[in-house]
Structure formats: C-alpha cells, structure tokens
Structure 1
Amino acid sequence: MKPFLLLASCALVASAWADDNPVPPVAPQDARPATAELSVQPLRMPNGDSAGLLAGSWLVAVDDQWGFGPTVLATAKGNYGGVFVFGVTGQRRWRLGDNTHLAANLTVGAGGGLSSPSLRFGGGLMLRPELQVRHEFGDWYLGAGVAHIRFPSGNVRDTRVTLTVGRMDDFRAFAPRDVGRAGRTYARGGVGFDEIALNGGFYAPRGDTRDRSGRPLTARLGRAGADARQYTAPDTWWGLEAAGAAKGGIDGYMEVLVNAGTDWALFHPRLRLGVQAGLGLGGGGGVDTGSGRLLRAGPTLRWITPWGPSLRLDANRTHATNGHFSVNETRLSLVLPLEGRRGVDARGQDLEEGTVRVQTLAGGVQHHGRVRFKDGSREGITQATLSLTRELGPTWYGTAQGNAAAGGKAGAYAVGLFGMGAQSAARTHGTWRWRTGVEGLVGAAGGGGVVVGGGAVGQLEAWLQLEGTGDLERLRVRLGAGQWGTLRGSGQRSPFVGLSVGYAYGVLGS
C-alpha cells in the first residue's frame, strides 16, 4: 500500500508542477512571400479559330528569386469551353528597380479538351514558357510579356502577348516536427482556407440546354465536387470550387468557379440561411457551354454542428453566358474545418489556437497499365497528379487529388478525387523517416475517349513514403500502387503505380 501512496503523491506533485509550468504553444516557424496571379492570353487554334486562355497560379517563394506552385488554365473565349490544363509553375524573378521586376515562368501541365482531326491535344502534356515585366503598386502588380503554349504530342501551339495581375501575400506555416503540439498564430496559415467541403448532387437541365450536336439534354445529371472557403467575417465568405459529371452520359464535363456569399441566423446561431453567387469556367462531355464562361447564384442553408463539421444544402442556377447550358442544381455538402479555434487575445488582436497538423501539397505522375477506350482498344496512359493531404490525427487523414492525362492517347482526360486514408507511425532510418499507408478515393472523371460509364470513379492505393529530417524535414517522396475503376455501369478496371514529391507544412486543427 505504501508504494502505491508514494507513486500517487509523486503523480499529484508532477501534475501540480505541470499546471504551474505549462508548455507554451509553438508559433509558425516559416513565413515566406507568396503570390496569386491571374493572366490572359489569346490563342490561335490550328484550324484557324480564335480562343482565349485564362490562367490562375498560386506560388510560394523558395528564396528571394525562385517560387513554385500549382496552376490551372482554361479557355474563356471562343467556342472551346471545357479545355482545361492543370500543372505546376516554376518562376524566377530579377529585380529591375524599386517597384519593377522581370519574371520568367515555366508551366508544365496536362489536359486538353474538344478535339477533331484538325485540332489535337495528343497525350495531354503541355509546356508553357513565359517572360514578363511587372510593375508593383503596393501589394499588387501588373505585368505584360509573351508566352508560348505547346502540346508536344498534338498540334496546338501558339506564341502570344500575355497580361497579368497579381497580389503578393505571405505563406505562414508551422514546422512538421511540431505535429501534435499546441500552436498559436495571429495570421492564417497554409493555403489560407478555413474549411473544405465534399459535395454531391444533381443538375436538372432547363429547356435551352443542348449538347454540341444540338440535341436537347433533358435527363437529370449527377455531379460530384469539392470547394474551399475563407471567411472574411463569421457570416461572409469567398471560395473556390471544382466539380465534374458523375452520372447522365456527359462524362468529361467539369467546372471551376470562384464564389462568394453571406448568411444570417435562422432561429438559432448554428442554423444559417444565406445567398451565394459565383463565376467561372466549365465545359466538356459534349455539353455546349460556348466559350465556357459560367454564372451561378442561389440560396444556401448551413448547419454548424456542435462537433466542428457542418452540413450545407445549396440550390443554384448555373448558366453559360454564350452557350446552350442552363441548369438548376441541388447539392448536399459535408464541410470539414481546416483551421483551429478563432478568437481574440487580451489586447483585442485576432488569434487562432489549436493542435499542429501536417498538410502536404504534392505533384507527381501516375501510370495506368491497361485502360479501355471507347473505340475498343486497351492502352496504357500516364497522368500528371496534384494532391493536397491533411492529417486529422496520428492515424487518419483526408485527401483531395486532381489528375490529367499527360501521356498515351487520352489527351483531355481528367479526374477529380477525394477521400480518406490511414497511415502508420513514422520510423527513422538514418537521415530519413518512412511510413506506410492505404487510402480510398471516389470522384468524377471523363474525356479523352476513356470508358468511364457515367463518370463516377474510385481508386484504392497502398503507399510507402520517405520523409526528410533536419533541413529536409518538409520533403515527402511517395511511391504507391493500386487499382482504379468505374463505380457504375462500364466495369472499367486498371492497375496503376504512382510517384509523387511533396512539400509538408504544419497548420492548426482541432
């Protein structure tokens, strides 16, 4: 009995000492410049048609000269709605004066769209070098220069003048080694979004909706997607969303939009009724969206659960500004918070507290061995991949992934996936750590002549990951293998292997 009392006394003393000497929360260890850019470029197609490209990039500085980040390009002019390219941009800057700099970009991407015998995107690989001079106005800058776009295995290529508007900001992050510790920050961390939503629903076509051959689209169409929001106030937000067809014979249709909205308490602070509006680009799947420009607006109902996640029910009307696409949309979303608890400190400054979780932004390649095409052939294809992974705890994580064909004959094939995974604890070997895991994803796919049924697809993957230590602690190299296939109808199945390189950083979570 005495040993037990002695141990209990020691535990009480240790507990009291810990309460009097709490471990202070960690602060972000990494603060570096970042920039968001939006540029426009005219494009002359091989068949003589005129089109216009809109490109959006988010770049994080490695040092004073170099920056890297994801880029999305899409057509916004001409009758080529649905041409999308996803890629990674590297940028080198040279200072020319106090408010002027020279920027050289190289974007490597994958994608494509509407093709014909005279218009070919080949396997989907795209290269886009660009040179611009920019002038800065505080946090903003304007640029003009020249860019060349080329699909090496197709015949789409052109060199034209480009115009860019950009805004400079900061990228703040915690060190990955602080995972699991309490953290505190006075500014948003990571990519800056407060929550991500996974959604599914239906489009109900209106009377003027047509495919590109002029046939009416009347059947209800399934869709699946995801969106991310940043709240500028508890009741006001802006965000980005992407979705694709998952049922109804328009596989290959996808859309990317910027939206904003506000809401008000309805009977209870956690139940909120609001409105939202968005604009963006969409097309593919044979749908006639004209140039691809879309407008969207409608009401939204949001329930913030006491446990953190939220549920949203949205009803929107989406309309192509110069095509034959007009639909009523209904969707249900599961919303997961990405940031910690928000509040104010004793001085009245905005404050965010929570537990440090690791988030990883990665790019890579994925090769599928035998994919079935609509012409009856079976061939291998190579995809470029972009993914964002967020740890929810020591074992579980959530992930979103976008892929586009970059090799083979499936140019214009694209897929968006989201899901969950489980991982082992990291083990150390020399200057590296390693861990294993497995994940399951579902989403929508289409284009490039690949058989995908209505568009709903899924994949299972097992992986091995190497993680750097010391100066390389943010580096992630992952090798994976698994099986991809359709979820409805066609019975398409294909094994795949993948390799990706990622950048890991810490953000606050629950």
Structure 2
Amino acid sequence: MATPDDAPFARIDTVRPAAVEASWTRMKMPDGGRTAFASLSYLMAYGDDWGFGPGFYGTAKGNYGGIFTVGFTGQRRWRLSGNTHLAASLYVGAGGGLSSREMRFGGGLMLRPELSLRTETGGWYTGIGVSQIRFPSGNVKSGVGLALTLGRTMDFVSFSPDDAGKPARAGRRSGLGFDEIALTGGFDRPRAASRNRSGQPYAGRVGKAGAELRQYVADGSWWGVEASGAAKGGVDGYMEILGQIGQDWPLFGTPRLRIGGQLGAGLGGGGNVDSGNGWLLRGGPTLRWITPWGPSLRLDAGYTHAPSGAYRAPYLRAVLAMPLDRTPTLIGDDPGGTVRVQQLGASVMHLPRMRFKDGRREAVSHLAVGLSREFSPRVYGTAQAGSAAAGSAGAYSFGLFGLGVQSEPLPGGLRVGAELLVGAAGGGGVKVGGGAVTQAEAWAQWAPAERLRLRAGLGWFRTLRGGDQSTPMSHLQLSYAFGALQR
C-alpha cells in the first residue's frame, strides 16, 4: 500500500521473466571442414509464452575463427510439466566471414530455426534439440543437427517510459541490469610469432575501438561483456566479443583511485587474423579513477592470446565509463534516482552507394541491434552493432557508439532528433581503410504504444580518414522502450 513517503516516487511498472541463453551447434562447411557455432542471447518475455531479444553467433571450432553474426531471436515456449518446457525459436541475423570460392555467405543474412526440450533446475535450464543454420543467399548451410542449450532465468524490471524524469526507488536493478557502459579505444602490438591466415607476419600496431557493459557484484568486483573491432592497422573486419571478470582495490587508501586486474575469454577473428578456431584469452592489470562527477576513467593493459591460432599481442587501452545503475540496496536505504528511458531495437539500414575494394559501387542493406539510454531529457547515448544482410557484402560488420540530442515529445507521440556515432567496420570486400568510420543521422520517431517506438532517419556514412567510403543512408528502427533508474 502506498504511503505519503512513497507518493512522489514512480513505481516499478513491469516485472517480466527474462533469460540469458547459450547454445552450441555443430555443422559441416561447404569446403569440407567441420565447425561449431557458439551463441549468447538475451531473451525477454513478451506475454506468458513468447520471448524475444538480441544475440550473436560465432564459430568456435575448427580453423574458422572470425565468422560472426548479430541479430534477434523470437521464441515460443510450451509448459509440459513443473520443470520441463518445449521451445521453438527462430534467429534472424546477419554477418559471415572467411569467404572463399568454396564458401560464400551471399548478402550475409543468416537464419537458424530450433526446436528443443528443456529441463529446469532452480534458475538454470539445459536443453537438447534440433536446429539448422543457413545463409539463404550463399552456399553455407547445415543439415538438421543436434543443438545443446544452457540458460539462466532472471527478471526484467522496468518503469513506464512515461515516468521519464521522475524520482524513483527500486531496491533492485532495473532494465538490462548493467551498472556501467563504457567506450574503449586502444591498440594491440602483435608479437613476432603472430601471423595472418596466409602465414605472413604482422608489422606495426592494430588499433581497436569498442564498447563494454559491466555489472558490479560487490565492492570492486565485476563481470561484463565487451565487443570491439579493428579501427586501424590494415586488419579491417577483425572483431572480438568477450566475457570478463575482475577485481580492484583502493590505491593509497583512496576509494576513488583503484588498481586491480581482469580476465576475459571469448571469440575473435576476421580481418585475415589467424585466430584458429576463434577462442581468445585475455588478462592484465587495470587502473580506475571514479570521478566526483559520476563517470570513470580507466587504463587497461595486458595480453591477448589465441590458443589455437597465431595471434599473440600485448594491449593498452583507455576507457571512459558512464554509470547506469549500482549494486541494489534495501528500499529503506536506497536514496533512489531518476527514471530515464532506454530503448532496445532492431534496425534495417540501406546504403545505396557502398564502395568495394575492387572499385565497384553497390547498394547494401544492414541488419543491426541498437541500444540507447537517456542521460537527460534532451541528451542520450547510443550504440549499434550489425552486419550486411542484403547485397554482395556478406561478412561486412560494424560497431558504432555516440551521442544524440532530441526534442521534447511533440503532439501525436512524435519526436525528432539527431545523432553522431563513431566506431569500427570492415569485411565483405567493403573499402573502409583501417576500419574507423563515422555515421551522422537526423531522425523522426513515433510512439504508437506506451513501449513501442518506430523511427525513420536519413544520414551519411563515411570513413573517418580519407575518402575510402562515403554514402547516404536511410534507417528504419523498431524499438522496445522502458524506464530504468539513473542513480
């Protein structure tokens, strides 16, 4: 029951089931080799039996490291008993990699239907089923084969997006559950033993740009996910996605200045980097300064190693981290925060004049996952990750992040704004120089329902340095909007 003290605060509007799901799917490639796709997806319930969410797939077996796709999964579940359910899923993504005369990904669109039986134990579940991976416009296609699944259930807690700007308390994490989002930039310096897939040694440095999401489980202890790509150094198209854990401690007794270490493991490859089967290991020290204004600055160093490939490189990078939430406290001890709108969306982008390395220009369409977060009523941060899905640029991928400005809501549920993003891109024969790119866009958005957003935009995409790439762009996005605490 509401009390006078509660009256000024917005209330949690929705608590939906959610799950983090990993899978393993074996397949035979057109060139005769065998590989397996590993995946990680985040699924949020939409109704009692339906779920949807973003995910990625990457090769993790054989000598195929560097094949990635990014997309969305829709899933229908049927309850069979108290601890078992049947699930039918369809993943629609885009990407590719390691194209050759024998192995073609076409425009890059990937489909993966699955039917599986799951058994639940506590908050975990395991599943076994059948699935098929296919790139419809290429020749990469598996037979119907065995698929293994491991999942963890959780809650998706959110406020109404109409409560934006209001004070609120939660006593638990809201939204996607991360405490911090960070932008990363730095470089690797490959060792002399590092080779490309043709056996030639690397020379010089590999510049990288990326983004990171982090959750703190205790004071100075965290886990998170990171995605980055090559932005300089002649390996455009290289991409890596890693999970990481870490710990740091106050330095010189100052809680805002902290020193520690982190470990990471995940998948990487592309850009002619010999990452073997795709698995990467990473570790090293980290120095973090939590500013009095909220953001944190970090300096990370360490070593990246591809156990089955020929890539070994020390790295150094700088990180700017923005707070999203923090470790939950009891309602009575929670000073609260302000509700800000986040949006999770699926995008289709059309670029009519993409330039390829062989000199031709063709139209290419992208499929992307987008995430945005308001920092104030007028300013927001945004990130996009995606790949080519139509055209002839299969295996082209990109990751972008930046800032945007927006108007106050207009009559009829309309809103207008503009944004500028930078990041890394490459692969698929597209000409992007070292891989550093930028994208500017003006957009208009309509809210047909409380939590749905339909957005259309026009903009320009180009490389940051030189005239390797410059093309207009049109963008259509459908997003799910929700309120999350900024504390």
TM-score, length basis structure 1: 0.93
What is the CA–CA distance in structure 2 between the aligned matches of 1:214 and 1:184, rounded to whole Å? 57
Asked if residue 194 in structure 1 is aligned to residue 171 in structure 2, the reply is no
Aligned to 2:298: 312
Partner of 1:77: helix, strand, or coil? Answer: coil
The match for 2:453 among 448, 452, 476 is 476
The match for 2:39 among 48, 55, 73 is 55
The match for 1:414 among 397, 400, 404 is 397
What is the CA–CA distance in structure 1 between the aligned matches of 2:26 and 2:255, rounded to whole Å? 48
Asked if residue 437 in structure 1 is aligned to residue 417 in structure 2, the reply is yes
| Matched AA of 1:165 | L
What is the CA–CA distance in structure 1 between the aligned matches of 2:328 and 2:175, rounded to whole Å? 15
Asked if residue 489 in structure 1 is aligned to residue 475 in structure 2, the reply is no
Change (3 A) 1:407 1:311: same
Change (3 A) 1:345 1:98: closer
What is the CA–CA distance in structure 2 between the aligned matches of 1:114 and 1:227, rounded to whole Å? 26
What is the deviation of 1:23? 4.4
What is the deviation of 1:308? 0.3
- How big is each residue's C-alpha offset from its partner over 1:190-216, in whole Å with a ceiling of 9 and x where there is no partner? 111000110101111112111111110
Partner of 2:175: helix, strand, or coil? Answer: coil
Aligned to 2:443: 463
Aligned to 1:9: none
Judge conservation of contact 1:186–1:352 (CA < 8 Å) in 2. Answer: no
What is the CA–CA distance in structure 2 between the aligned matches of 1:367 and 1:75, rounded to whole Å? 27
Asked if residue 34 in structure 1 is aligned to residue 11 in structure 2, the reply is no
What is the CA–CA distance in structure 2 between the aligned matches of 1:312 and 1:87, rounded to whole Å? 30
| Matched AA of 1:269 | P
Asked if residue 504 in structure 1 is aligned to residue 484 in structure 2, the reply is no
Higher relative contact order (CA 8 A, sep 6+): 2
Aligned to 1:145: 129
Change (3 A) 1:352 1:505: farther
Aligned to 2:234: 249
What is the deviation of 1:385? 1.3
- How big is each residue's C-alpha offset from its partner over 1:359-401, in whole Å with a ceiling of 9 and x where there is no partner? 0000020000101101111000000011000011111000001
Judge conservation of contact 1:309–1:335 (CA < 8 Å) in 2. Answer: yes
| Matched AA of 1:166 | G
Aligned to 2:97: 113
Asked if residue 231 in structure 1 is aligned to residue 216 in structure 2, the reply is yes
Q: What pairs up with 1:245-324 in 2 under 5 angstroms?
A: 245-267=230-252, 268-324=254-310
| Matched AA of 1:438 | A
What is the CA–CA distance in structure 2 between the aligned matches of 1:204 and 1:340, rounded to whole Å? 35
What is the deviation of 1:428? 2.0
Q: List runs of 5+ in structure 1 lacking aligned partners.
A: 1-19
Change (3 A) 1:48 1:397: same
Partner of 1:314: helix, strand, or coil? Answer: strand
What is the CA–CA distance in structure 2 between the aligned matches of 1:476 and 1:278, rounded to whole Å? 35
Judge conservation of contact 2:379–2:405 (CA < 8 Å) in 1. Answer: yes
Judge conservation of contact 1:341–1:354 (CA < 8 Å) in 2. Answer: no
Partner of 1:149: helix, strand, or coil? Answer: coil
Q: What pairs up with 1:63-462 in 2 under 5 angstroms?
A: 63-158=47-142, 159-267=144-252, 268-339=254-325, 343-346=329-332, 351=334, 353-429=336-412, 433-462=413-442
What is the CA–CA distance in structure 2 between the aligned matches of 1:64 and 1:141, rounded to whole Å? 18
What is the CA–CA distance in structure 2 between the aligned matches of 1:280 and 1:376, rounded to whole Å? 35
What is the deviation of 1:344? 4.4
Judge conservation of contact 1:340–1:508 (CA < 8 Å) in 2. Answer: no
What is the CA–CA distance in structure 2 between the aligned matches of 1:238 and 1:342, rounded to whole Å? 16
The match for 1:44 among 25, 28, 39 is 28
Judge conservation of contact 2:454–2:477 (CA < 8 Å) in 1. Answer: yes
What is the CA–CA distance in structure 1 between the aligned matches of 2:85 and 2:6, rounded to whole Å? 47
Partner of 1:177: helix, strand, or coil? Answer: helix
Change (3 A) 1:420 1:223: same
What is the deviation of 1:22? 8.2
| Matched AA of 2:374 | E
What is the CA–CA distance in structure 1 between the aligned matches of 2:173 and 2:329, rounded to whole Å? 12
Partner of 2:215: helix, strand, or coil? Answer: strand
- How big is each residue's C-alpha offset from its partner over 1:428-457, in whole Å with a ceiling of 9 and x where there is no partner? 22xxx0010000000000000000000000
Provide the aligned length of Structure 1 versus Structure 2: 482
Judge conservation of contact 1:341–1:352 (CA < 8 Å) in 2. Answer: no
Judge conservation of contact 1:265–1:272 (CA < 8 Å) in 2. Answer: yes
What is the deviation of 1:352? 6.4
Aligned to 1:7: none
TM-score, length basis structure 2: 0.97
What is the CA–CA distance in structure 2 between the aligned matches of 1:99 and 1:90, rounded to whole Å? 21
Larger Rg: 1
Partner of 1:105: helix, strand, or coil? Answer: strand
Change (3 A) 1:205 1:225: same
Judge conservation of contact 1:195–1:228 (CA < 8 Å) in 2. Answer: yes
Change (3 A) 1:504 1:143: same
User: What RMSD over aligned residues (CA atoms) do the two structures have, in Å?
Assistant: 1.3
Judge conservation of contact 2:431–2:468 (CA < 8 Å) in 1. Answer: no
What is the CA–CA distance in structure 2 between the aligned matches of 1:35 and 1:465, rounded to whole Å? 29
What is the deviation of 1:491? 3.4
| Matched AA of 1:504 | A
Q: What is the percent sequence identity of the aligned residues?
A: 56
